[in-house]
Structure 1
Amino acid sequence: MQYTEIVHPEDAAALKALKAIPILPTVVKKVMDLGYEQLYVGLNRASKIKLSPTQLPELYNILPPICELLEIKEPEFYLEMSPEPNAYAFGDTQTSISITSAFVEYASHEELRAIVAHECGHIACHHMLYHSLAQILSDASGLFETLANFAMPIHYALMYWQRKSELSCDRASAIVTSPETVMSVMARLAGGPKSITSKVNMEEWAQQADEYEKIYNGGMWDKTLQRLAVLDLAHPYHAVRVREILKWKNSGQYQQALNNNPVCPSCHRPVDKSWKFCQYCGHQL
């Protein structure tokens, strides 16, 4: 898959503006020279469970078909104990994906595929260098506090771009699963378990994002308050993400990307358009 098929235009515009910051290359070099990436590798291996074909394979096996479809090198995949449903990717040269135990218990199998695909989308869309830098600057304290204060304007620029980058990863997730699955994950995160949120009207929910935008772009005081509220957020609000994925679903771009990257509905591996049966699992296409 060509990553340009799924990159959201606001992601592309924000990244272009980010790269135009003159001091950014200096900050990237200084932060990466601190060895943070290797630190995270060590912490992952010491404190989490690394998934593999022989270590919780029912969970690990979600990953390889997604990487094959998105045409990325397989990252390390970790399970982390946490009561908070969460998943995240980290690293530029040594990439990894972590998913929390709460998400594994909370989400359906198809929703787990959407969650993993979203994190793989960061790799496929070439986000990982700046994505990891944003996480490092967010976590900086103590010894690195001076660097964090020095880089605060860059931190806020990174967070703005990161919010936009999530929209591209939702598109990657929709290609691997479906827009409906992506939206169901948003409903779980915003409203609670499936027993409560399975019948959420997505169109009506998306309209809330339009109402929010009116406030966000309203009078000077409202605009100031709303922009301060999102200044340090790494993700867009859930209603905004639902609206954006619905817009893409209804556009010709989504269907074109889907047609360009057919997937077996049984084993979820990429297939050729000329196949009548999946050559991996035998499912009729």
Structure 2
Amino acid sequence: MLIKNHITFPELSHQEFQHPLDRDTGSLLKNIDKFRSIIATLNSYVEHSTRYYHISSCVRVSEKQYPSLYKNYVKLAQALDVRTLPDLYIETISEVNAYASGIEKYSIQLNSALMDILTEREIMAILGHELGHVKCDHMFYNTFTYFIMYFGASITGIIPPPFNSVLDLSVQLALLEWSRRAEFSADRAALLATQDVEAVTEALSKIAGYSKTLSDPISVEAIREQADSFEEYVDDNWMAKFIKVQSMLRQTHPYTVLRVKEILTWSESDHYKQILSGNYLKLIEEPIPAALDVSTQTQKLTSAFSSSLSGLKSFTNLKK
């Protein structure tokens, strides 16, 4: 179910709604051709494995299968100007999750456990989020981030110089940091696709904590207040800072309560209102990045990632 007067954004550039760090680091990574070829090899296996599983074990949404969902799904893709519609699958599974995958052929999976706690409007928000990942081509590096998260430095053995020297702790942390910022970009895509801030924030809030057995509706405003209190807690408590840095080593997504606050803030911004009015960067207007040599690319990549180490460097002086 989409709002009345739902609008589309023809020729919308993904750069218009990307979070700045997502955009900047993604651009640097894409300039390193050898780096891309290595990731492509890893991704090829993952893509075929996922397609095999989806076709054999999940239900594909189409004009004939869940047609009302498919109709709205098409409208969401049109809103974001996603021109090649990813295959959409539903799996009966207890994990509350949804994800986009693929490099050459995109697909999106909705888990039944997630759908069962959401309204139709909120499901649209989740689909808009996943279409945002497709629009921004996030899956290419998401797969590599997965390998880094689970295998860490051991993966550097298959990476040739000079890139293996770059994949130290700083870059591992930075890839995870990029992954978290990419989620903020996809949340913005969800808002643009649905133009329904309540659906987006309520979906995120339910992912944080919800049960159908509770009669009271979830309060998005209370979640925003909780995010404020969390930020104050981390700022004022040295142990919280320590725990936060530890979590960076394995966390691909930002904290859900912070995502609610972030998208609420963006929904109130002039930037979002300008896009709704039709004033946005179009595909034909995208700036062309300047060519960089490999050494410069590597240096810039490491420099862009260095901020992720700031928390680790504070371990020797955790108290203010």
Conservation of the 8 A alpha-carbon contact between 1:14 and 1:164: no
Shift of 1:195: 6.7
1:182–1:194 distance in 2 versus 1, CA, 3 Å: farther
- Partner of 2:75 in structure 1? 65
- Whether 1:37 aligns to 2:54 is no
- Whether 1:125 aligns to 2:136 is yes
- Partner of 2:248 in structure 1? 230
What do residues 196-218 of structure 1 show as CA deviations (whole Å, max 9, x unaligned)? 48644433422332332344455
- Partner of 1:244 in structure 2? 262
Question: For the residues of structure 1 that align with 2:30 and 2:246, how far apart are their CA atoms?
Answer: 23
Higher mean C-alpha deviation, range 222-231 or range 234-243: 222-231
Q: Which runs of 5+ in 1 are unaligned?
A: 262-285
The 3-state SS of whatever aligns with 2:137 is: coil
1:17–1:202 distance in 2 versus 1, CA, 3 Å: farther
Identity %: 29
Quick one: which amino acid aligns to residue 158 of structure 1? L
Conservation of the 8 A alpha-carbon contact between 2:227 and 2:257: yes
Shift of 1:61: 2.4
Question: For the residues of structure 2 that align with 1:145 and 1:9, how far apart are their CA atoms?
Answer: 28
- Whether 1:103 aligns to 2:89 is no
Bigger RCO (CA 8 Å, 6+ sep): 2
- Partner of 1:80 in structure 2? 91
Question: For the residues of structure 2 that align with 1:47 and 1:223, how far apart are their CA atoms?
Answer: 43
1:194–1:2 distance in 2 versus 1, CA, 3 Å: farther
State the TM-score, normalizing by the size of structure 2: 0.70
- Partner of 1:114 in structure 2? 125
Question: For the residues of structure 2 that align with 1:247 and 1:28, how far apart are their CA atoms?
Answer: 34
Shift of 1:79: 0.7
Question: For the residues of structure 2 that align with 1:19 and 1:211, how far apart are their CA atoms?
Answer: 37
- Give the alignment of 1:206-217 within 5 angstroms: 206-217=224-235
RMSD: 3.2
Conservation of the 8 A alpha-carbon contact between 1:216 and 1:227: no
Conservation of the 8 A alpha-carbon contact between 1:18 and 1:161: no
Instruction: Decide which of 190, 209, 233 is 2:208's aligned counterpart.
Output: 190
- Partner of 1:173 in structure 2? 190
The 3-state SS of whatever aligns with 2:277 is: helix
- Partner of 2:14 in structure 1? 3
1:29–1:3 distance in 2 versus 1, CA, 3 Å: closer
1:218–1:9 distance in 2 versus 1, CA, 3 Å: farther
Quick one: which amino acid aligns to residue 224 of structure 2? A
Shift of 1:116: 0.5
Shift of 1:15: 3.1
What do residues 74-94 of structure 1 show as CA deviations (whole Å, max 9, x unaligned)? 001111111122110011111
Question: For the residues of structure 2 that align with 1:173 and 1:95, how far apart are their CA atoms?
Answer: 17
Shift of 1:135: 3.6
Quick one: which amino acid aligns to residue 183 of structure 2? E
Question: For the residues of structure 2 that align with 1:197 and 1:167, how far apart are their CA atoms?
Answer: 30
State the TM-score, normalizing by the size of structure 1: 0.78
The 3-state SS of whatever aligns with 1:35 is: helix
Conservation of the 8 A alpha-carbon contact between 1:159 and 1:233: yes
Question: For the residues of structure 1 that align with 2:248 and 2:147, how far apart are their CA atoms?
Answer: 19
Aligned length: 258
Conservation of the 8 A alpha-carbon contact between 1:191 and 1:197: no
Quick one: which amino acid aligns to residue 36 of structure 1? V
Shift of 1:117: 0.6
Question: For the residues of structure 1 that align with 2:233 and 2:111, how far apart are their CA atoms?
Answer: 34
Quick one: which amino acid aligns to residue 66 of structure 2? L
- Partner of 1:164 in structure 2? 181
1:27–1:210 distance in 2 versus 1, CA, 3 Å: farther
1:256–1:138 distance in 2 versus 1, CA, 3 Å: same
